[in-house]
Amino acid sequence: MPIINVKLLEGRSDEQLKDLVSEVTHAVEKTTGADKNAIHVVIEEMNAAHYGVAGVRKSDQ
């Protein structure tokens, strides 16, 4: 049972998140041979104030 965890900054539409789940599921099914019904995708959206790169929060850019 593959479990895929996707972390990204919040702000995508519901349609984009729906497509992401579908495409990730398809890629895992194709590359691993896992049954589609056994593939779990978890999306964790992060607030830009809670994520930083090179010492700067994304919300401050």
The residues annotated with a catalytic role in the active site are 2
SS3 assignment, position 29 = helix
Q: Which long-range contacts (CB under 8 A, 24 or more apart) does 18-27 make?
A: none
- Contact between residue 5 and residue 44 where contact means Cβ atoms under 8 Å apart: yes
